[in-house]
């Protein structure tokens, strides 16, 4: 389209490119394996928050079963590698396809419903997936845990950092690009005003299902990478608890911004890791933070950034 | 006046929200090139009529035909693609999107970039203020500008029929005059308009024909010029009339 053309291809702003560049060279200085592990955890949770935000922030549907889709991708990838002998590098793709298919079918079932009903249905889908995984112990070994082949022989964290960094980058760029495309315009229209979107010729069910399927595909892909990074899977990866953490990061980061969740992950994951006594209270603290964000700063970190940008820019460039 | 078959025919329409029926046996016709007004008090069913034609409400009974197609019961996005554009009353813009994005969404049903470009040029020409503010968020516009944007978005799909709901609501008198002037110009340019308005006086002046809705039923119809002299209309809607 003629008008959006100029900025549509520049998906990443100079600032985000700079931050990503800094992040990519960070392991060259960070020697501490523990710190590297933290960075990887932040990347993994942050990219999940971005995939989550792709539905919550764009089409305004909250996927309470999100972590179940992550887990479905993780288990699919692990089982493909274990039973069919495919390479761990291809497993996550299988995970993405499986989660996308699951997302598509639950989307077709649930996304005709209005917001809150759709959210509740996604939660039930998640619970069902969780109990299925736990009870099919012949296949998944249930709560005894499934040992998953790793990507690499080495125990060093640095190579894993680059693997996960690559996936995060891919997730960010793909979601960002889709979000700013013509299809993304329809997503945001549905999220902001369903009735106007319909009157503008946007088929809400179709675009919601597309969006949900895409988000689930990335959930599955990230789950696959998580599996072959961690080396062990239990049904707990699918627990609603995990979804709540992802949701909190996405909301604190700023709905609809995508990058906000990633930034929030880099703040809160290390924070809780260092404040060990608070680790147990993590969900409580996330809950309180969520309430505070909703009351005082519904736009999250992204909104704070936008405000700062306007205030800082003002003296130099008058409009 | 163009002599042609009706562009829109509504026959014995019954509609409402869930168990609350609002429209009873509403029949009306809009000919090509006409500006037809729906008059009535708050709650008379004017907006419900427009929303039902636009497919945002499913009719309970009756029939709606548009350019030889039966459209009642079709989903809103398909009706929009048949070139019926609904400009809603309480604006329903996309507040967190730019003016440009709002306009582009208006043309979402058009998959031909050339045509979208044409509509965009036309809308920017009709509303120069929008062109100047195209990068601004819709939520940051003034009331008058929002109304322009809502109209502009409605025009982006190059509609045959424009359904306009209360375009002067909440606007300063000067701004309202601009909106009515714009509607008259669009009509002169050949657009067919079905207009819902509370400003009965101006509406009767600019429209060709009018229907009067009371409690969900059409109680009167006729040429707007004649309705202006009608006793009932004068008493009830113009606050003047007999002594």
pLDDT score recorded for residue A10: 55
Q: Residue B52 pLDDT > 90, yes or no?
A: yes
The model's confidence at residue B242, banded by pLDDT at 50, 70 and 90, is very low
Average pLDDT over residues B68-96: 88
pLDDT score recorded for residue B169: 86
CA-to-CA distance for B62 and B52, rounded, in angstroms? 11
Answer whether B65's CB lies under 8 Å from B8's CB: yes
Contact at CB, A199 and B117, closer than 8 angstroms: no
For residue B211, the surrounding DSSP H or E stretch is strand B209-214
Question: For chain B, how are helix, strand and coil distributed in percent, rounded to 5?
Answer: 40, 25, 35
Nearest alpha carbon to residue B95 among A181, A198, A299, A193 = A193
Q: Residue B158 pLDDT > 50, yes or no?
A: yes
Contact at CB, B116 and A2, closer than 8 angstroms: yes
Residue B159 sits at the chain A interface (C-beta within 8 Å): no
Best residue in A4, A199, A207, A257 for a mutation probing chain B (most B CBs within 10 Å): A199
Residue B152 sits at the chain A interface (C-beta within 8 Å): no
- pTM of the prediction? 0.87
Q: In terms of CA atoms, which chain A residue is nearest residue B86?
A: A199
pLDDT score recorded for residue B4: 58
Q: Residue B148 pLDDT > 70, yes or no?
A: yes
What are the C-alpha distances in Å from A62 to residues A70, A161, B103, B195? 15, 29, 28, 38
Residue A256 sits at the chain B interface (C-beta within 8 Å): yes
* Distance between A319 CA and the closest CA of chain B, angstroms: 12
Write down the domain spans for chain A: 2-317
* Distance between B94 CA and the closest CA of chain A, angstroms: 6
Cα end-to-end span (Å), chain B = 35
**Whether CATH 2.60.40 fits A2-317:** no
pLDDT score recorded for residue A314: 53
Q: Which residues of A touch B88 (CB under 8 A)?
A: 195-196, 199
Residue A6 sits at the chain B interface (C-beta within 8 Å): no
Q: What does the pLDDT profile of chain A (319 residues) look like in tens digits?
A: 334 444 444 567 778 888 888 888 888 888 888 888 899 999 999 999 999 999 999 999 999 999 999 999 999 999 999 889 888 899 999 999 999 999 999 999 888 877 788 888 899 999 999 999 888 888 888 788 888 888 887 778 888 899 999 999 999 999 999 998 899 999 999 999 888 899 888 999 999 999 999 999 999 999 999 999 988 898 988 888 889 999 999 999 999 899 999 999 999 888 888 887 777 788 888 889 889 988 888 888 888 888 887 777 555 544 4
Answer whether A89's CB lies under 8 Å from A166's CB: no
Q: Which residues of B touch A204 (CB under 8 A)?
A: 77
Model pLDDT for residues B3-28, shown as the tens digit of each residue: 457 899 988 988 988 888 898 888 99
Look at chain B and count its residues: 243
Residue B114 sits at the chain A interface (C-beta within 8 Å): no
Contact at CB, B157 and A201, closer than 8 angstroms: yes
Contact at CB, A3 and B120, closer than 8 angstroms: yes
Nearest alpha carbon to residue A248 among A301, A204, A314, A203 = A301
pLDDT score recorded for residue B104: 92
Nearest to B92 among A3, A185, A196 (CB): A196
pLDDT score recorded for residue A3: 40
Contact at CB, B113 and A2, closer than 8 angstroms: yes
Residue B157 sits at the chain A interface (C-beta within 8 Å): yes
């Amino acid at each position: 389209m003629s008008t959006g053309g100029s900025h549509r291809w520049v998906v990443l702003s100079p600032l985000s490119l700079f931050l990503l560049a800094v992040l990519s060279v960070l392991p060259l200085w960070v020697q501490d394996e523990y710190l590297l592990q933290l960075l990887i955890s932040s990347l993994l949770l942050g990219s999940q928050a971005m995939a989550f935000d792709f539905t919550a922030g764009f089409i305004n549907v909250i996927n309470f079963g999100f972590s179940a889709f992550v887990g479905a991708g993780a288990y699919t990838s692990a089982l493909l590698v274990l039973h069919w002998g495919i390479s761990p590098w291809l497993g996550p793709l299988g995970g993405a396809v499986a989660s996308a298919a699951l997302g598509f079918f639950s989307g077709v079932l649930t996304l005709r419903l209005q917001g809150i009903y759709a959210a509740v249905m996604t939660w039930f889908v998640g619970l069902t997936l969780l109990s299925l995984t736990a009870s099919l112990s012949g296949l998944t070994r249930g709560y005894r845990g499934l040992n998953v082949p790793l990507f690499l022989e080495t125990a060093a964290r640095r190579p894993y950092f680059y693997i996960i960094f690559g996936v995060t980058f891919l997730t960010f760029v793909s979601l960002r690009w889709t979000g700013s495309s013509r299809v993304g315009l329809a997503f945001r229209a549905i999220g902001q005003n369903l009735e106007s979107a319909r009157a503008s010729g946007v088929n809400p069910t179709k675009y919601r299902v597309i969006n949900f399927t895409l988000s689930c595909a990335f959930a599955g892909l990230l789950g696959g990478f998580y599996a072959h990074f961690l080396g062990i899977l239990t049904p707990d990866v699918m627990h609603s608890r995990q979804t709540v953490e992802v949701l909190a990061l996405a909301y604190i980061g700023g709905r609809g911004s995508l990058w906000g969740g990633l930034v929030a992950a880099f703040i809160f994951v290390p924070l809780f890791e260092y404040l060990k006594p608070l680790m147990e209270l993590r969900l409580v603290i996330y809950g309180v933070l969520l309430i505070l964000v909703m009351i005082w700063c519904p736009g999250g970190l992204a909104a704070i950034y936008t405000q700062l940008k306007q205030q800082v820019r003002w003296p130099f460039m008058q409009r | 006046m163009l002599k042609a078959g009706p562009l829109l025919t509504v026959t014995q329409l019954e509609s409402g929200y869930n168990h609350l029926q609002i429209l009873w046996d509403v029949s009306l016709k809009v000919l090509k090139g006409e500006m037809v007004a729906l008059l009535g008090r708050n709650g008379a069913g004017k907006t419900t009529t427009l929303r039902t034609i636009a497919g945002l409400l499913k009719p309970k009974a009756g029939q709606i035909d548009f350019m030889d197609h039966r459209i009642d019961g079709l989903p809103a996005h398909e009706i929009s693609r048949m070139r019926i554009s609904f400009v809603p009353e309480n604006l329903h813009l996309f507040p967190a999107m730019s003016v440009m994005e709002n306009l582009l969404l208006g043309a979402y049903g058009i998959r031909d970039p050339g045509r979208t470009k044409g509509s965009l040029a036309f809308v920017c020409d009709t509303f120069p203020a929008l062109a100047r503010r195209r990068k601004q968020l819709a939520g940051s516009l003034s009331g008058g500008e929002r109304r322009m944007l809502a109209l502009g978005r409605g025009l982006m799909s190059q509609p045959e029929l424009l359904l306009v709901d209360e375009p002067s609501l909440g606007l300063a008198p000067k701004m309202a005059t601009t909106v009515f002037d714009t509607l008259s110009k669009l009509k002169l340019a050949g657009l067919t308009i079905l207009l819902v308005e509370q400003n009965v006086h101006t509406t009767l002046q600019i429209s060709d024909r009018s229907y009067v809705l009371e409690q969900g039923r059409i109680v009167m119809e006729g040429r707007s010029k004649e309705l202006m002299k009608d006793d009932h209309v004068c008493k009830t809607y113009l606050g003047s009339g007999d002594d």
